[in-house]
Chains A and B, each alone.
Chain A
Amino acid sequence: MSGAREPIKAIVTPIRLEYDFTAGRAATLFLRGLEKKKIIGARSGPGQPVLVPPRGADPRTSELAQEAVEVSDKGTVVTYSVIRVPSENIKFDLPYVCVNVLLDGASIGFFHVLQNCPLDKARIGMRVRAKWVADDKLAPSVASIEYFEPIDEPDVPYQKIKENT
C-alpha cells in the first residue's frame, strides 16, 4: 500500500426492516368488500357522512365510524390530473389520468386511475364506473378495482358537485 488515498466521501449502508401489518377493522371492512366486488364505506351513524375508504373514525367529529354502508361502484369525477411521472405503486402506461371519484352514496372522493378515455376528454363532472378484475383475481386488495372508465351517462353539472371539488 502506498500513496495518499482519497478520503471516503460516502458509504452505502443497506437497511432492511420487516413489519407485520394488521389491516385494522376499518381497512378490513373495505378490503373484504372489494373481494366481493363491493365498495364498502363507513359512517358513524344514520344520516352521517359515508366515508370511503373507511378510516375508523369520522374526522369531523372523531366519532367511531363503524357502520358499514355499501356504495355504488359508479360515480362522478370531482377532480383529476394527467400523470406523466412514474410511481412505484402504479403500473399503468404513462401518461394516465388519476381521478377523484365521488361514488354514488359516498360523501368523500375516492382516488383512483381512469382508463379507456382520451386524455383530453377527462373532465370534472364526467360519470365513471369501476372496472373490476376477473373473478379469479379478486382479493382483499385495492387492486381488485383495476381502474375506472367512462360510462354513458350525462355529466353532472359543476354547480352540483362544486362542494366536493
Chain B
Amino acid sequence: MAHLCGVIGIGQTKYDAKRIDVSMPGLVREAALRALEDAELTFADIDAVVIGKAPDTFEGVMLPENYLADALGAVGKPLLRVHTAGSVGGSTANVAMSLIHAGIHDRVLTIGWEKQSESNAMWGLTISPPFSVAVVAGAGGYFAPLIRAYIARSGAPEDTGIRTALKDRLNALKNPYAHLQIPDIDFDKIANSPMLWDPIRYLESCPSSDGACAMVLAREDLAERAPAPPAWVHATAMRSEPNQFSGRDAVNPQAGRDAAADLYKQGRITNPRAEIDCAEIYVPFSWFEAMWMENLGFAEEGAGWKMVYEGATALDGDMPINMSGGVLSSNPIGASGMIRYAEAALQVRGQAGEHQVDGARKTMGHAYGGGSQYFSMCLFGKDKP
C-alpha cells in the first residue's frame, strides 16, 4: 500500500428492532457524530464520505445517500455509495481505506447503515419477480441446506450451532450497543427455541435491526496525532464469485479462501490462528462460525466445529470470535460488515470495554454477502505494519 491508513474515530448507534426515535438522517448522524467526537474532529475536517448499505428496498428510498448529503456534512465533497449485498459494510470500509492508501484524501468518513424497520426486510429479501425461475424461501431457506451439507461433510454434532449462539448472546450482554440482549440466556433456552429452517433455531438466527456504524480514517501522520491510538490498517482484501455454477463449493467458498489468503499474504501472516488475536466475523446463523473457521484457515477443513466445542472462540478462548455479540446480536444489514471492522479496530485500540480481549494487538474484521459469494476482510494492528 502506498500510504498507511489509521482508524482514528469509531461511532456506533444503539442497534434495535425499530429506531423510531430517529429519522434516517438522525440515525446516520448519531454514528457519524460519535465517530467524529472520538477523533475530536468535526464534519469540516472530513474530505470525503463513503457510505454503504444494502438494497434500497429496505427503506423505500432510492439512493438515500443523495438525500443524506447534508446530514453527513458531504456537501461540496466527494460522496460514494457502495452496495455489495451483505458484505457491504466491509467493502464500504475497504473503498474508504483505498482513498487514504491512494493518497487522495487526508481524512475520510465512512459509514454503513440500515433502517430496515422502515420497510419490510423479509419482503425485501424475498421479492420474487414474475418469470422467476426459482422457488424462494428466504435467507434462512437458502442457508439451511448449506449447513445441512456442512454437517454431512464434517460429522459435526447437531448442537454445534447452539454453542456458538450461546457464546455470542453472552458476549452481547457486555456490549451496550447490541440489539438482542437476553440476560437469562442459556443452552436450553436456545435449544428449546422454535426451529425455523432445520437446523437453524430462532435463537440461532440474527435479528432484523436498525443501526449505523461509522469510522473516521486518516493518513499516517494525522493518525499519529489523533487523540487516541489509531487502529492501523495492515491489509484489506475482497473477492467475489458467482452464486451458482457447476462444481461450486458453497459451503467453503473459494472466494472466501482466496480473500483470506490475500489478506494474510499482505499482512505477512503465516499462521492465522496463532498470529491473529481475535476476530469479528460475519455469522448471521450460528453454524457459520464453525464453517468460517475453516474458510479462514483458523481450523483444518472439517474441524471448525471442534473450535466451537473446545471453547476456543469464546471471549476467554485462544481465538475469540465476535466479542461484540456479532451479527447474531445486531444485524442492520448495511452496517453489519462495518460493525465487524469497527469492533475489530476497537480491540486493538483497547476501547472494547467489557468485551475487550486483553492484549489484542492484531485483529480481523470480516463480512460476506449474497449466496456466500462476496467477501471483504481487513487486518488491524496496534502497531504499524
A interface residue numbers (CB < 8 A to B): 9-10, 13, 15, 19, 21-24, 27-28, 30-31, 49, 51, 53-55, 58-60, 78-85, 87-90, 95, 98-100, 107-108, 111-113, 124, 140, 142, 158, 162-163, 165
Given the known A-B contacts A79-B148, A87-B141, are A98 and B135 also in contact in the complex, defined by CB atoms under 8 Å?
yes
Interface membership of chain B positions 123-157, coded 1 if the CB is closer than 8 angstroms to chain A and 0 otherwise:
10010111111111110110011111100110000
Q: Which residue of A lies closest to B144 (CB)?
A: A81
Of A9, A58, A84, A165, the contact of B197 (CB 8 Å cutoff): A84
Query: Once the chains bind, are B195 and A111 in contact (CB under 8 Å)?
Result: no
Across-interface contacts of B199 in A (CB, < 8 A): 81
Query: Considering the complex of A and B, which 3 residue pairs feature the smallest CB-CB distances, nearest first?
Result: A59-B242, A49-B246, A81-B144
Classify chain B's interface size: 35 or more
Q: Which residue of B lies closest to A85 (CB)?
A: B196
Query: Once the chains bind, are B152 and A112 in contact (CB under 8 Å)?
Result: no
Q: Which residue of B lies closest to A50 (CB)?
A: B246
Across-interface contacts of A163 in B (CB, < 8 A): 247
Of A21, A30, A51, A58, the contact of B130 (CB 8 Å cutoff): A21
Query: Once the chains bind, are A60 and B245 in contact (CB under 8 Å)?
Result: yes
Given the known A-B contacts A88-B123, A142-B134, are A80 and B246 also in contact in the complex, defined by CB atoms under 8 Å?
no
Query: Once the chains bind, are A82 and B195 in contact (CB under 8 Å)?
Result: yes
Measured CB to CB, the closest approach of chain B to A23, in angstroms, equals 4
A158 to B244, CA, bound (A): 21
Across-interface contacts of A113 in B (CB, < 8 A): 135
What are 15 A-B interface contacts by the 8 Å CB criterion?
A31-B133, A54-B133, A60-B247, A80-B148, A83-B144, A85-B197, A87-B126, A87-B141, A90-B136, A95-B198, A98-B137, A98-B141, A124-B148, A124-B149, A124-B152
A21 to B194, CA, bound (A): 38
Query: Once the chains bind, are A53 and B134 in contact (CB under 8 Å)?
Result: yes
Measured CB to CB, the closest approach of chain B to A142, in angstroms, equals 6
Across-interface contacts of A85 in B (CB, < 8 A): 138, 140-141, 196-197
- B window 188-244: CB within 8 A of A: 194-199, 242-244
A109 to B128, CA, bound (A): 19
Q: Which residue of A lies closest to B138 (CB)?
A: A87
A130 to B141, CA, bound (A): 20
B176 at the interface (CB under 8 A from A): no
Query: Once the chains bind, are A80 and B195 in contact (CB under 8 Å)?
Result: no
Across-interface contacts of A99 in B (CB, < 8 A): 145
Q: Which residue of B lies closest to A62 (CB)?
A: B242
Measured CB to CB, the closest approach of chain A to B258, in angstroms, equals 15
A7 to B214, CA, bound (A): 28
B20 at the interface (CB under 8 A from A): yes
B60 at the interface (CB under 8 A from A): yes
Across-interface contacts of B128 in A (CB, < 8 A): 88-89
Given the known A-B contacts A60-B242, A60-B246, A163-B247, are A81 and B133 also in contact in the complex, defined by CB atoms under 8 Å?
no
A87 to B140, CA, bound (A): 11
Of A28, A59, A60, A81, the contact of B141 (CB 8 Å cutoff): A81
Across-interface contacts of B195 in A (CB, < 8 A): 82, 84, 95
Q: Which residue of A lies closest to B140 (CB)?
A: A85
Query: Once the chains bind, are A83 and B137 in contact (CB under 8 Å)?
Result: yes
Query: Once the chains bind, are B137 and A13 in contact (CB under 8 Å)?
Result: no
Measured CB to CB, the closest approach of chain A to B93, in angstroms, equals 27
Q: Which residue of B lies closest to A15 (CB)?
A: B60
